[in-house]
Amino acid sequence: MRTNADMTVYKKSVALGVEVWTRSTVTAVMWENRKAANVLRSGLLEADAVTVYVPLARGLSVKPGDVLVKGIVADTIVGAFTMASLKAKYPNAVTVRSVDTLDYGSAIMQHLEIGAS
C-alpha cells in the first residue's frame, strides 16, 4: 500500500463521568481529502470528507467519534485545551464516522478504511 502521511489519533473514553482523550500516533497512512457537495431541496450543503487507509499491520484500533489529525501533533486534551481548541488549531482535524476492515488479499494489501468529516 502506498502511503503519503502520518497522523495523530485522539481516542475518547469516559472515566468517572469525565471525557478523557488519549493521544497516539500512526506513521505511514494514506490520507485522502475529498471535496464534495450535497444538493438538498433547501439548497447547497457542503459534504467535505476524508478517507484514511491504515495497514492492518499497524495494529490500530479506532471507532466512530475518535478524532484524527493529519501529521504528528503533540497537543494533549487537558484543562483549558479542549477538543474544540484542537479543531480550531488544526483545520485538518476530523471526526471518525465509519471504520471498515478490509482483510482480504495479501497481507500487504489488508487495511482499515476510515471515513471521517
Phi/psi for 84 (5° steps) reads -60, -40
pLDDT for residue 112? 96
How far apart, in whole angstroms, are the C-alpha atoms of residue 62 and residue 8? 12
Q: What is the pLDDT of residues 28-53, one digit of tens each?
A: 999 999 776 656 555 555 565 899 99
Four-point Cα dihedral 74, 61, 90, 53, nearest 10: 120
What string of DSSP letters covers 63-83?
Answer: -TT-EEEES------BTTB-H
pTM of the predicted protein model: 0.87
Q: Is the per-residue pLDDT at 1 higher than 80?
A: no
Provide the pLDDT confidence category of residue 17 given band limits of 50, 70 and 90. confident
Provide the pLDDT confidence category of residue 66 given band limits of 50, 70 and 90. very high
